Structure 1
Amino acid sequence: MIKVFYGFYIVNNRPLNYLLLNISCLKSRKFHISKFVLSGKIYLFRQLAKINFRIHTKIYTALLNTKTMEEIIVRIGGAAGDGVQSAGLTLEKTFSRSGLYISTYNYYQSLIRGGESWYQVRASDEKVRNQGSGLDVLVALNADALERHTNRNINEGGASPLNGIAIYDPGTIHNFKKYDGITYCPVPMRDIALKFDANPLLKNTVALGAVIASLGLDFNVFSGVIEKVFNKKGKLVESNINAAKEGYEYYLQNYKVYRKLKTSNKKLYTIGGGDAAALGAINAGMQMYFAYPMTPASSFLQFVATHGKKYHVFLKLTEDEISAINAAIGANYAGVRAATGSSGGGFALMTEGVGLSAMTEVPLVIYEAQRPGPSTGLPTKTEQGDLNQVLGAGQGDMPRIVLAPGTVKEAFDLTKEAFNLAERFQLPVFVVTDLYLAEHDETVDLDLSYEMDRGLLADASEADYKRYEYTENGISKRAFPGQPGLMHNEDSDEHNEYGAVVSDAITDPTQRKLSMEKRMKKLNLYIKEMPPTPTYKMEDAEYVVIQWGSTKGAVEEAIDCMRKNGTKIGAIEITHIFPMNHDIKKLLAGKKKIIVVENNYSGQLNGLIRKEFLVDTQFLGKYDGEAFFPADLALSLEEMIFGKKIKVEE
Structure 2
Amino acid sequence: MECKILIGGEAGQGIQTVSNILSKYFFRIGYYVFTVESYQSRIRGGHNYSLLRISDRPIYAIDDDKIDILIALNLETIKLHIPEVKREGYILCDENINTEDFPKEDRIIKIPVRRITQELKSRLVENTIFCGALLALSRGDMEEMKRVISEGFKEEYFEINLRALEEGYKHTLNLGKSCGKFPKRSRGKRLLVNGAEAVGFGAIVAGCKFLASYPMTPGTAVMNFIAEHELDFDIVVEQAEDEIAAINMAIGAFFAGARSMVTTSGGGFALMVEGLSLSGMTETPVVIHIGQRPGPATGLPTRTEQGDLNFVVHAGHGEFARYITAPRDQKDAFYKTIKAFELAEKYQIPSIILTDQYLIDSKAVIEGLIPPSEIKSYRTKGNADYLRHRITEDGVSPFAIPGESEALVITDSDEHDEEGHITEDLEIRKKMVEKRMKKKELLLKEIEEPLFFGVDNPEFVFIGWGSTYGVIREGIERLINEGYPIGHLHFSDVYPIAKESLEKFKGRKLYTIEQNYQGQFAALLRKETGINVERGVVKYNGFPFYVEEIIKGVKEIMG
Do structure 1's residue 582 and structure 2's residue 499 form an aligned pair? yes
Q: Which amino acid aligns with 1:210?
A: A
Do structure 1's residue 489 and structure 2's residue 410 form an aligned pair? yes
Aligned to 1:519: 436
Q: Which amino acid aligns with 1:202?
A: V
CA apart distance, 1:144 = 0.5
CA apart distance, 1:453 = 2.7
Aligned to 1:144: 76
Q: Which amino acid aligns with 1:632?
A: E
Q: 1:96 to 1:470 in 2, by over 3 A?
A: same
Q: Which amino acid aligns with 2:480?
A: R
Do structure 1's residue 447 and structure 2's residue 365 form an aligned pair? no
CA contact (8 A) 2:192 2:365 kept: yes
Do structure 1's residue 466 and structure 2's residue 466 form an aligned pair? no
Aligned to 1:597: 513
Aligned to 2:194: 272
1:333 to 225, 250, 255: 255
CA distance in 2, matches of 1:276, 1:459: 35
Q: Which amino acid aligns with 1:619?
A: G
Q: Deviations over 1:423-446 (max 9, x none)?
A: 111100000000110111111221
CA distance in 2, matches of 1:527, 1:494: 26
CA apart distance, 1:262 = 4.1
Aligned to 2:135: 212
2:158 to 224, 237, 261: 237
Question: 1:47-126 counterparts in 2 under 5 A?
Answer: 70-126=1-57
Q: 1:195 to 1:384 in 2, by over 3 A?
A: same
CA contact (8 A) 1:399 1:523 kept: yes
Q: What SS does the corresponding residue of 2:201 show, helix, strand or coil?
A: helix
CA distance in 1, matches of 2:113, 2:456: 53
2:464 to 530, 547, 557: 547
Q: 1:207 to 1:630 in 2, by over 3 A?
A: same
Question: 1:24-43 counterparts in 2 under 5 A?
Answer: none
TM-score normalised per structure 2: 0.95
1:374 to 290, 296, 301: 296
Point out the more displaced range, 264-273 or 600-609. Answer: 264-273
CA distance in 1, matches of 2:413, 2:490: 36
Q: Deviations over 1:526-569 (max 9, x none)?
A: 21233332222353432211111111111011011111111122
Q: Deviations over 1:223-262 (max 9, x none)?
A: 22111111332xx222222222222122222142112124
Do structure 1's residue 285 and structure 2's residue 207 form an aligned pair? yes
CA contact (8 A) 1:149 1:162 kept: no
Percentage identity across paired residues of the two chains: 36
CA distance in 1, matches of 2:328, 2:407: 42
Aligned to 1:129: 60
Q: What SS does the corresponding residue of 1:75 show, helix, strand or coil?
A: strand
CA distance in 1, matches of 2:52, 2:104: 23
- Counting matched residue pairs gives 554
Aligned to 2:99: 174
Aligned to 1:558: 475
CA contact (8 A) 1:558 1:633 kept: yes
2:171 to 232, 250, 263: 250
CA apart distance, 1:75 = 0.6
CA apart distance, 1:76 = 0.4
CA contact (8 A) 1:299 1:438 kept: yes
Q: 1:331 to 1:179 in 2, by over 3 A?
A: farther
Q: What SS does the corresponding residue of 1:415 show, helix, strand or coil?
A: helix
CA distance in 2, matches of 1:483, 1:228: 44
CA contact (8 A) 2:379 2:401 kept: no
Q: Which amino acid aligns with 1:597?
A: I
**Where in structure 1 are there 5+ consecutive unaligned residues?**
1-69, 152-159, 643-650
Q: Which amino acid aligns with 1:466?
A: L
Q: 1:518 to 1:456 in 2, by over 3 A?
A: farther
Q: Deviations over 1:93-150 (max 9, x none)?
A: 1111111111111111111211101111111122211133222111111111001011
2:449 to 524, 529, 532: 532
Q: Which amino acid aligns with 1:342?
A: T
Q: 1:557 to 1:228 in 2, by over 3 A?
A: same
Do structure 1's residue 607 and structure 2's residue 523 form an aligned pair? yes
Point out the more displaced range, 528-537 or 361-370. Answer: 528-537
Q: 1:616 to 1:224 in 2, by over 3 A?
A: closer
Q: 1:632 to 1:143 in 2, by over 3 A?
A: same
2:423 to 484, 502, 507: 502
CA distance in 2, matches of 1:178, 1:123: 31
CA distance in 2, matches of 1:606, 1:331: 37
Aligned to 1:13: none
CA distance in 1, matches of 2:449, 2:186: 36
CA apart distance, 1:472 = 1.8
CA apart distance, 1:206 = 1.5
CA apart distance, 1:174 = 1.8
CA distance in 1, matches of 2:333, 2:440: 22
Aligned to 1:383: 305
1:198 to 115, 122, 144: 122
Aligned to 1:188: 112
Q: 1:323 to 1:179 in 2, by over 3 A?
A: farther
CA apart distance, 1:330 = 0.6
CA apart distance, 1:178 = 6.5
CA distance in 2, matches of 1:590, 1:178: 60
Point out the more displaced range, 429-438 or 249-258. Answer: 249-258
CA distance in 1, matches of 2:506, 2:379: 38
Q: Which amino acid aligns with 2:345?
A: E
Q: What SS does the corresponding residue of 1:251 show, helix, strand or coil?
A: helix
Q: What SS does the corresponding residue of 2:487 show, helix, strand or coil?
A: strand
Do structure 1's residue 625 and structure 2's residue 557 form an aligned pair? no
CA contact (8 A) 1:71 1:261 kept: no
Q: Which amino acid aligns with 1:549?
A: G
CA apart distance, 1:396 = 1.5
Q: Which amino acid aligns with 1:238?
A: E
Aligned to 1:64: none
CA distance in 2, matches of 1:87, 1:625: 24
TM-score normalised per structure 1: 0.82
CA contact (8 A) 2:129 2:169 kept: yes
CA apart distance, 1:633 = 1.6
Q: 1:616 to 1:296 in 2, by over 3 A?
A: closer
Q: What SS does the corresponding residue of 1:104 show, helix, strand or coil?
A: strand
Do structure 1's residue 639 and structure 2's residue 550 form an aligned pair? no
Do structure 1's residue 398 and structure 2's residue 330 form an aligned pair? no
Q: 1:299 to 1:538 in 2, by over 3 A?
A: farther
Q: Deviations over 1:570-612 (max 9, x none)?
A: 2111111110012133242242x22211111121112101212
Q: Which amino acid aligns with 2:521?
A: L
CA distance in 1, matches of 2:128, 2:375: 45
Q: What SS does the corresponding residue of 1:349 show, helix, strand or coil?
A: helix
Q: Deviations over 1:435-494 (max 9, x none)?
A: 11011111122112343232252433xx63222222221111111112444214201111
CA distance in 2, matches of 1:88, 1:584: 40
CA apart distance, 1:409 = 0.8
Do structure 1's residue 567 and structure 2's residue 484 form an aligned pair? yes
2:338 to 416, 434, 442: 416
Report which of the two structures shows the higher radius of gyration computed on alpha carbons.
1
1:346 to 250, 268, 271: 268
